[in-house]
Structure 1
C-alpha cells in the first residue's frame, strides 16, 4: 500500500489574495464605466433616433446593463 509522505495544502498567499481582489475591483470598475458610457450615449439621442434603432427610452437602462454586465 502506498502512503503519501508529503501532502501540502495549496494555500494562496496574501499577495495572491490582494492580486485577485485588485483584478476583481478593476473588472467591476471597467463594467461600471461601460454602463455609464452607454447610458450617457443613449440619453444623448432624441426619441426619433432611438426609434430608428428600435429602442424606447424605457429600455436604456436595461440595454446599458446588458452591455456592461451581460444578460442574466
Structure 2
C-alpha cells in the first residue's frame, strides 16, 4: 500500500497574510492617533466651553471613542 503526502508551501499566502496584518496594524495606529487627538482637543476645552456644546467632562472618553471607532 502506498501513501502520499501533500504539503503546501504557504509562501504567497503567508506573504499576503503578513501584508494584511501590517495593514491592520497601520490602520489601528491611525485610529488611535485620531482618538488621542480628539480626546486631547476636548480635554483642552474649558468647563464653560464644554457646557456650551453640551458635553460633560466625564463623557469625553466615550465621545472620543464613539467619534473614532463607531463612525
TM-score (norm 2): 0.78
In the alignment, the residues of structure 2 paired with residue 61 and residue 39 of structure 1 have an alpha-carbon distance, to the nearest angstrom, of 7
TM-score (norm 1): 0.77
> For residues 54-65 of structure 1, what are the structure 2 equivalents within 5 Å?
54-65=54-65
Tell me the residue number matched to 2:26.
26
| Higher helix fraction (1 or 2) | 2
Flag structure 2 segments of 5+ consecutive residues without an equivalent: 1-9
Is 1:68 paired with 2:55?
no
In the alignment, the residues of structure 2 paired with residue 55 and residue 22 of structure 1 have an alpha-carbon distance, to the nearest angstrom, of 36
Flag structure 1 segments of 5+ consecutive residues without an equivalent: 1-10
Segments of 4+ moved more than 2 angstroms = none
In the alignment, the residues of structure 2 paired with residue 31 and residue 54 of structure 1 have an alpha-carbon distance, to the nearest angstrom, of 25
In the alignment, the residues of structure 2 paired with residue 57 and residue 42 of structure 1 have an alpha-carbon distance, to the nearest angstrom, of 8
Is 1:13 paired with 2:13?
yes
- Paired residues in the alignment total 61
- CA RMSD in angstroms comes to 1.5
